[in-house]
């Protein structure tokens, strides 16, 4: 029976591992926003966001490729090649990132941007997620993530408490140091799952890895950029104050995004085994994943929308009230984010790299162009709207072009969920301006519906299986469909 619940078990393990780190990350955010000037916090948030943008490039598609190709049981060799490829990519990303600092950061914030590259250069923790997927054990990922969160929190909080009015440069240096310390533990763990290979074979192995994921690497890289580039654009075009407000709204959405991220990790091996040779899922699998991804998306979107104003005031205080409206808008985008994560993973596991690349490049182009045109005149609300529209476009386009779902499934579930989420977001904008009693009552109703949607999603997730018997049954079911 364990196989019947493996995706659900992995989901809980990955989510549990990130929940503790998310709390520590949020605690770090509270310390910075309440313990420093708004402009200082704006530069710090932007530099850290830039580091996390670069961090997402370190995998460069090799993680999903590891999960996709390790189904043959050759774990240690593939893990070794994956690790050294990631090291080589890290060096290249740091070099390109230094150029990006000059382009994206105003002169007053460039030092903080350069310091953030230390965090990127020393980051090894990320290898634990795909390796945990391959070996079917997320415990190490949970421990390493908690160690990293604790190290960063202690370093940054120590600076705020011990140094009078610390600069953004000092705070970013503390953040980077905490990440580097935690990476030592990751290095010890990953070596247990590697094998020794002659140094002369490494260049060939790295080239083969990169060649195998070239389109996937560009696609996932484009996706990473449009998810995080908005923070740098706001800092560049609107200054440190607006960057602080938008950074808070974005941070709340990013914290909630940990749930679909854990969902993505947990269903990857399921999809790798259940996607047909032509890259299309059976109808039963499509329906189950639609319930999982959209139930999760509705639950998260409604939840963040419901608590948006309370969360902003609790984390940073009334001086950050301008972050409430963009928080509501970004909260609504979590529906598309959750859906996008699952259909995107379906595309990757089905080998639809080229179509996935087309969609993400188009989404990135729209995101940057719209931000550059709208943010200077309309500020952080425009940035939030552009981010939400980009996520929605990417989710619909991937489902349509990649062919991992049938149109009826998308229209029936996603369309209705999207309309409902937009209506709830508009209602919350009204509630924020209404009396406290009406706001609280309406928010509790929205939150209750969101929790019910999450319960439905988890029930559907428990029905997924990637054990050998269930996979064979799935093949018979797909054959009986005649498609």
Residue 14 lies in a domain: yes
What is the number of structural domains in the chain? 1
Residue 483 lies in a domain: no
Instruction: Give the span between the Cα atoms of 283 and 32, in whole angstroms.
Output: 48
Residue 79 lies in a domain: yes
The average pLDDT across 332-337 equals 90
Task: Give per-residue pLDDT as tens, 253-270.
Answer: 888 877 766 665 566 556
The average pLDDT across 285-291 equals 71
Residue 117 lies in a domain: yes
Residue 482 lies in a domain: no
Q: How many CB atoms are closer than 10 A to CB 107?
A: 7
Task: Give per-residue pLDDT as tens, 32-49.
Answer: 999 999 999 999 999 999
Residue 415 lies in a domain: yes
pLDDT value, residue 6: 60
Alpha carbon of 265 to those of 8, 137, 228, 270: distances in Å? 11, 12, 20, 10
Residue 430 lies in a domain: yes
pLDDT: which is higher, 384 or 467: 384
Task: Give per-residue pLDDT as tens, 414-465.
Answer: 888 899 999 999 999 999 998 889 999 999 999 999 999 888 888 877 766 5
- To the question of pTM greater than 0.85 for the whole model, the response is no
Contact status, residue 99 vs residue 231, Cβ threshold 8 Å: no
Give percent above pLDDT 70 in the chain: 75
Highest mean pLDDT among 98-107, 198-207, 212-221, 249-258: 98-107
Q: Which residues of 9-21 are buried (b: 16+ CB within 10 A; e: fewer)?
A: bbbbbbbbbbbbb
The average pLDDT across 133-157 equals 78
Task: Give per-residue pLDDT as tens, 363-387.
Answer: 889 999 999 999 999 999 999 999 9
What is the biggest distance separating any 2 CA atoms in the chain, rounded to whole angstroms?
Answer: 70
pLDDT band at 117 (very low <50, low <70, confident <90, very high): very high
Which range marks the domain in which residue 269 is found?
Answer: 3-477
Calculate ∠ Cα 138-139-142, nearest 5°: 90
- Can you state the angle between helices 353-397 and 324-332, rounded to 10 degrees? 120
pLDDT value, residue 447: 93
Instruction: Give the span between the Cα atoms of 123 and 126, in whole angstroms.
Output: 7
């Amino acid at each position: 029976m364990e196989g019947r619940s493996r995706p659900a078990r992995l989901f809980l393990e990955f989510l549990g591992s990130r929940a503790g780190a998310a709390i520590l990350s949020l605690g770090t955010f509270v310390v910075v926003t309440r313990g420093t000037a708004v402009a200082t916090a704006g530069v710090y948030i932007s530099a850290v966001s830039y580091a996390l943008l670069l961090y997402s490039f370190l995998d460069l598609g090799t993680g999903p490729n590891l999960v996709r190709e390790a189904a043959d049981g050759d774990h240690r060799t593939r893990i070794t090649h994956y690790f050294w490829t990631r090291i080589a990519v890290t060096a290249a990303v740091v070099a390109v990132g230094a150029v990006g600092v000059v382009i994206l950061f105003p002169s007053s914030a460039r030092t903080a941007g350069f310091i953030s590259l230390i965090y990127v250069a020393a980051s090894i923790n990320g290898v634990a997620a795909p390796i945990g997927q391959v070996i079917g054990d997320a415990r190490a990922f949970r421990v390493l993530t908690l160690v990293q969160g604790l190290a960063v929190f202690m370093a940054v909080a120590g600076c705020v408490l011990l140094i009078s009015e610390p600069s953004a440069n000092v705070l970013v240096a503390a953040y980077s140091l905490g990440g580097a310390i935690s990476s030592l533990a990751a290095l010890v763990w990953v070596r247990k799952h590697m094998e020794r290979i002659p140094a002369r074979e490494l260049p060939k192995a790295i080239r083969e890895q990169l060649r195998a994921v070239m389109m996937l690497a560009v696609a996932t890289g484009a996706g990473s950029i449009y998810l995080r580039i908005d923070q740098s654009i706001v800092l560049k075009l609107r200054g440190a104050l607006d960057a602080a407000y938008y950074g808070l709204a974005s941070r709340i959405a990013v914290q909630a995004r940990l749930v679909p991220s854990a969902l993505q990790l947990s269903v990857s091996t399921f999809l790798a085994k259940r996607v047909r040779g032509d890259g299309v899922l059976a109808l039963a699998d499509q329906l189950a994943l639609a319930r999982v991804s959209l139930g999760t998306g509705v639950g998260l979107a409604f939840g963040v929308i419901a608590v948006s104003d309370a969360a902003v005031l609790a984390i940073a205080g009334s001086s950050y009230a301008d972050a409430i409206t963009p928080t509501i808008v970004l909260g609504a985008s979590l529906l598309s984010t959750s859906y996008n994560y699952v259909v995107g993973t379906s595309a990757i596991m089905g080998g639809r790299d080229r179509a996935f690349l087309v969609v993400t490049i188009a989404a990135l182009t729209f995101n940057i162009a719209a931000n550059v045109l709208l943010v200077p005149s309309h500020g952080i609300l425009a940035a939030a709207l552009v981010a939400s529209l980009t996520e929605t476009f990417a989710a619909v386009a991937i489902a349509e072009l990649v062919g991992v779902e049938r149109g009826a499934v998308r229209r029936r579930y996603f369309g209705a969920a999207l309309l409902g989420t937009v209506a709830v977001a508009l209602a919350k904008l009204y509630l924020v301006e209404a009396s406290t009693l009406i706001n609280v009552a309406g928010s509790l109703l929205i939150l209750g519906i969101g929790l019910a949607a999450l319960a439905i999603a988890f029930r559907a997730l428990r029905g997924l299986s990637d054990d050998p018997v269930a996979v064979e049954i799935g093949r018979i079911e797909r054959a009986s469909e005649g498609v």
